Amino acid sequence: MLFRHDALTEWTKSSYSAVNGDCVEVKAQGALLVRVRDSKDIDRPGLGVSAETWSAFVLDVSGRERPGA
């Protein structure tokens, strides 16, 4: 699995976020769940996805192949 839950213990802003404040943040919630939110709407808990799904998404948008695929 690509995702390291210990690397995202706090809300982390995307390195691709725009300077105008349009930002996506991610945070691990345990070892199996990743939360994704809009940084302008921090009162909501964010969309929850499995760590496996998040890893697949990150690999897909980066153009890299999944290990073992």
Q: What is the pLDDT of residue 49?
A: 94
**What is the value of pTM for the model shown?**
0.70
Q: What is the pLDDT of residue 62?
A: 80
Residues 6+ apart with CB under 8 A from 52: 1, 3
SS3 38: strand
Residue 48 pLDDT level (bands cut at 50, 70, 90): very high
CA distance 26 to 34: 7
User: What six digits make up the tokens of 56?
Assistant: 């697949």
23: nearest Cα among 10, 38, 34: 38
Q: What is the pLDDT of residue 29?
A: 85
pLDDT tens per residue, range 2-43: 556 566 778 888 776 667 667 888 888 888 889 999 888 888
- When comparing pLDDT for 8 and 52, which is higher? 52
**Number of neighbouring beta carbons within 10 Å of residue 35:** 18
